[in-house]
Structure 1
Amino acid sequence: MNDAEPNPQIWVDADACPAVIKEILFRAAERTQVAVTLVANQWLRTPGSRHVRALQVQGGFDAADDAIAERVRPGDLVVTQDIPLAARVLERGAEAVNPRGERYTTDTIAERLSMRNFMDELRGAGVQTGGPAVFHARDRQAFANQLDRWLAARASARPSGKPG
């Protein structure tokens, strides 16, 4: 990576991101000096850190998603539960993971989009599909493991002795 190339960073679709996941990200930002940006259409409290910032976007359907998709660069990581946003992120050469630690990949995103659209159709037809599963400690651990993998890959790609 040359000096003109900005360092990869983490973008968080923060409106629906669990607080425990944000805390993991805040600690990782301090530990590794990686930039973490929370994007939401509401004001967010962030720790006093030069590595963490919040970007408040105007309300509106997909405003936070659009803001992330416009700013993300190849090598960045996006934390989102939104499958269409994950697809957009992958198209831009970035990586995406949901707060439960499930990676979105170019191999699986089409199937996930199809399933999402099918479930939307069922809900539109009045079928009760239930909500998301309860967030467990194993989900938090799976997320932390995926984050550690991304951070390790980022560290190995950086010239030695150069912080994030």
Structure 2
Amino acid sequence: MTTPIILVDADACPVKEEVYRVAERHKAHVRVVSNSPFRVPVSERVKRVVVSDGFDAADDWIAQNAGPRSVVITADILLAERCLKAGATVLRHDGKPFDAASIGSAIATRAIMEDLRAGMDGVGSGPPPFSKADRSNFLQALDRVLVRMGRG
């Protein structure tokens, strides 16, 4: 059985430290993928992947490297869809999974929200603040996924 790999869409990821801790406990590999360098722990399991600053370059790298033994951490709905098609498990930063049952409605909601924002001329708010509960939910969700992969 191959070791699970966690692919982190790192540019706006608030849970990188949590990923490192859970990955270490489960002996999983981590790839921190971004357009600019991030500090990562000194570990043979954790590697930084800096891609070009081309549009969607990090997403493309993650999607091309995702598969059945990978967990993708992202809030990007379109990247989540690509990774699900490759057989990966996909988690948002708050621990909620993207899966075959939820991705269609997530894409539809994204399109509606994009249309609404376009008509508001920049007025409005972004996502709610990231909370301690979100962080805790993420830790539990990632742990559950890696435990399940360890059994399979």
Q: How many residues align?
A: 151
Which one-letter code corresponds to 1:67 in the other structure?
W
Structure 2: segments with no counterpart, 5+ residues: none
Pair 1:16-2:5 in alignment: no
For the Cα contact (< 8 Å) 1:101–1:143, is it kept in 2? yes
Determine what percentage of the aligned residue pairs are the same residue: 40
C-alpha contact 1:122 1:129 (8 A) present in aligned 2: no
Using the TM superposition, give the Cα deviation of residue 24 of structure 1 relative to its aligned residue in structure 2, in angstroms: 1.1
User: How far 1:129 sits from its partner (Å)?
Assistant: 4.0
Q: Could you tell me how far apart the structure 1 residues matched to 2:124 and 2:91 are? A: 23
User: Contact 2:70–2:88 at 8 Å: present in 1 too?
Assistant: yes
Partner residue, 2:135: 140
Question: CA–CA distance in 2 between the matches of 1:56 and 1:37?
Answer: 10
Are the aligned partners of 1:8 and 1:73 in contact in 2 as well (CA < 8 Å)? no
Distance across 2 between alignment mates of 1:15 and 1:51: 20
| Cα shift at 1:59 | 0.4
Q: TM-score, normalised by structure 1?
A: 0.88
Partner letter of residue 82 of structure 2? R
Runs of 4+ more than 4 Å apart: none
CA deviation string 1:89-115 (max 9, x = no partner): 101111100111110010010000000
**Counterpart of 1:162?**
none
SS at match of 1:107: helix
1:48 CA drift (Å): 0.5
CA contact (8 A) 2:67 2:86 kept: yes
Residue 36 of structure 1 and its aligned partner are, at CA, apart by: 0.6
Q: What residue is the counterpart of 1:120 in the other structure?
A: 114
Letter in 2 for 1:97: L
Which residue in the other structure is 1:131 paired with?
126
Any idea what the Cα deviations from partners look like across 1:54-99, whole Å, max 9, x if unmatched?
Answer: 1000002211111100111113100000000000010111110011
2:147 to 140, 145, 152: 152
Is 1:81 aligned with 2:75? yes
Q: Unaligned regions of 5+ residues in structure 1, if any?
A: 158-164
Larger C-alpha radius of gyration, 1 or 2? 1
TM-score by length of 2: 0.94
Shift of 1:131: 0.3
Q: 2:46 aligns with which of 14, 32, 52?
A: 52
